[in-house]
Structure 1
Amino acid sequence: MDQLGFDFGVEQPRKLVKVTPAKLGTFEDCRRRYRMTYLDRPQPQRTGAWAHSTLGAVVHNALRALFDLPAAKRSPQRAAVLVTEQWKDNGFADPEQAARYRARAKGWVTEYVERHDLSEDPIGVERWVSAPVSGKPGAQPTMIIEGRADRIDLRDGELVIVDYKTGRRPPDDDDARYSQALALYAVAASRTLRKPCHQVELHHLPSGTVATAEHSTESLQRQLKRAEESAEDLRAATDTLAAGGDAEELFPARTGKHCSWCDFRPSCAAGQQAAPASQPWDLLAP
């Protein structure tokens, strides 16, 4: 009957929109940057490498490589060697500055391994998790949340999300509690690995501090509702753009001091006017 063109009014299910914490965060921070990052092809001109991003990637990669080793070999000395093996100079002012931060990074990971018991194998390291979810309890899924968690531990039968930080400011417990990314990782990890997950942690290597939050079912649901609202706005803007909508109206720039270090500053006149350009090393932890 379908071949004869009959329409019986059956509504086709809408395809679930896939979102990551990075996509949602970028969309909420600046829609123009979202468009340039995920939609525009060819992608507009970007800045060069940022030293703080290089530093963070090196530390993350060194800790990931550390967990690839047998537990007996996860020593502070080996962690320092892994920093050297993973090191890149991208974004630093000069070789001298890069060398200083390489030494600092080695010190951070050495102290981290000394402070923490890393003899237990995590459930996941750089683990991709994904789950269909809804912003309303018990409702049909409206989106798929997914992303790569730095580390997922198993403690006393429950999953714990661990996120490494190397930025200028040590995060506190409120940062962990209100982090949308950590909450979404907790939900996705719980459903992917079929174990409860309520605790999330931010491990700040420069200061050696750990910020912790214990989510309730209600607090996780609030984060899902917020994510769903952003995902619906994201879907609507993207679909309208694909149908011929105006890119500047659908994805306007949200200017502010963050324009100083935006990756797409070379391609955004509004951002250039809003704030002076940062040097690639200005966001390094002191």
Structure 2
Amino acid sequence: MSSTSEAAGDAECGPVLPGPRAEAGRTGVGPTGVGRTEAADGVEAVGAAAAAGTAGAVAAAPEAAGAEAAAPDTADAEAAAPETAAPTPSLSPSRAADFMTCPLLYRFRVIDKLPEKPSPAATRGTVVHAVLERLFDAPAGERTPVRAKALVRPEWEKLLAKRPELVELFGADEGGADLARWLVGAEQLVDRYFTLEDPNRLEPAERELYVETVLDSGLKLRGYVDRLDVAPSGDLRVVDYKTGKAPSQRFESQPLFQMKFYALVLWRLRGLVPRRLQLVYLGSGDVVTYDPDESDLLAVERKLLALWQAISRATENGEWRPKPSRLCDWCDHRELCPEFGGTPPPYPLPVATGS
């Protein structure tokens, strides 16, 4: 999809859905692009992916690898479950990504609930997301780069008050130089946002919207949408901010899967397939768009059902196979992984025999 066709498509959606600025420097992925191919894979693809632990890191690729760094989804229902309870039949994009990336990683995070060290990149992403959410509190015309960057330090301080353990990120920073550089890096990401969109032309319908639906199978899907735009015609645009760099075309289908997940939930909730899915990569200054259809979202639904079946089998038989990849270099649980000579903690759930 060319930049011209993107602009034309947005014009049809109405004035509340302006297209990305010309400076975006990246064409969107159209219905014939890699995202469409991935969606058409269906159940067969996820069956193999779940068994092998496909490196489909929707939210797990470290920033050093050219994508946004990931952190455990603390909003997950599993996080509030008893330590010895099996995961409830529910999935978020991050937990689905964990299992596809490495089934053992899913076990460590969801069942064992092992602690993980805070990451500067993931924490910066949290702060930047908060800034972009708060930016729209100001009236149109007053949403400026100066105002947005002025929100960075207060949002960091608010986050630190909620999560005091984040002080470890800069514990050895005696003069505060590391923190200052980190804050400047966050400000640069916020500043770049204004080269990709004009927030004064936008009036988001929702920000940080929690969405949840239960499929006919009983599987609950849930997650947080960064921004939802609604055109006068009723068309929906789902927007997700990424503080890392846009992935290569080879891995472009991975973050698009996350967006299709949200689109599926919104379709089930509102009876309307979102007109556009938009990924805004602040790390590289790229905007990637995709226009889904019902066949896309039905394929995603089948994929998620097959994925949950694989998770359920692993929960019952206790076989959580590790999937080594370059992401292992950034995994907090490497020392417990059999691929690196480690031993996982005792499995806390009963194991079915004879299956």
User: Which whole-Å deviations, capped at 9, do the CAs of 1:140-167 have from their partners, x for residues lacking one?
Assistant: 4342211111111113421111111111
Question: Would the alpha carbon gap of residues 158 and 141 (structure 1) be closer, same or farther in structure 2, given more than 3 Å must change?
Answer: farther
Q: Is 1:149–1:185's contact at 8 Å kept on the other side of the alignment?
A: yes
Question: Which of residues 118, 124, 127 in structure 1 aligns to 2:206?
Answer: 124
Aligned to 1:149: 225
Q: Is 2:277–2:290's contact at 8 Å kept on the other side of the alignment?
A: yes
TM-score if structure 1 supplies the norm length? 0.74
Q: Is 2:264–2:300's contact at 8 Å kept on the other side of the alignment?
A: no
Question: Would the alpha carbon gap of residues 74 and 172 (structure 1) be closer, same or farther in structure 2, given more than 3 Å must change?
Answer: farther
Aligned to 1:23: 95
SS in 2 for 1:197: coil
Give, in whole Å, the separation in 2 of the partners of 1:221 and 1:36: 30
Q: Is 2:131–2:151's contact at 8 Å kept on the other side of the alignment?
A: yes
User: Which whole-Å deviations, capped at 9, do the CAs of 1:42-96 have from their partners, x for residues lacking one?
Assistant: x3353x2211111211111111121233334322211101112223676468543
SS in 2 for 1:130: strand
Percent identical across equivalent pairs? Answer: 28
Question: Would the alpha carbon gap of residues 271 and 78 (structure 1) be closer, same or farther in structure 2, given more than 3 Å must change?
Answer: farther
**Aligned residue type for 2:190:** V
* Number of aligned positions between the proteins: 241
**Aligned residue type for 2:323:** R
Q: Is 2:280–2:287's contact at 8 Å kept on the other side of the alignment?
A: yes
CA RMSD of aligned residues (A): 2.7
Aligned to 1:235: 312
**Aligned residue type for 2:180:** A
Give, in whole Å, the separation in 1 of the partners of 2:155 and 2:97: 28
SS in 1 for 2:290: strand
**Aligned residue type for 2:114:** P
More strand by share: 1
SS in 2 for 1:200: strand
Aligned to 2:183: 102
How do residues 53-68 of structure 1 correspond to structure 2 at under 5 angstroms? Answer: 53-68=122-137
Q: Is 2:210–2:223's contact at 8 Å kept on the other side of the alignment?
A: yes
Give, in whole Å, the separation in 1 of the partners of 2:308 and 2:115: 26
Q: Is 2:245–2:281's contact at 8 Å kept on the other side of the alignment?
A: no
Q: Which runs of 5+ in 2 are unaligned?
A: 1-87, 161-166, 343-355
- Indicate whether 1:182 and 2:270 are aligned: no
Q: Is 2:240–2:279's contact at 8 Å kept on the other side of the alignment?
A: yes
User: Which whole-Å deviations, capped at 9, do the CAs of 1:213-265 have from their partners, x for residues lacking one?
Assistant: 11121122222211111011112322x1xxxx4x3xx1122122211111323
Give, in whole Å, the separation in 2 of the partners of 1:81 and 1:233: 46
Q: Which runs of 5+ in 1 are unaligned?
A: 1-15, 134-139, 274-286
Give, in whole Å, the separation in 2 of the partners of 1:197 and 1:169: 22
Q: Find the structure with the greater CA-based Rg.
A: 1
**Aligned residue type for 1:232:** Q
Aligned to 2:268: 191
TM-score if structure 2 supplies the norm length? 0.61
Give, in whole Å, the separation in 1 of the partners of 2:179 and 2:133: 22
Give, in whole Å, the separation in 1 of the partners of 2:211 and 2:288: 22
Aligned to 2:299: 222
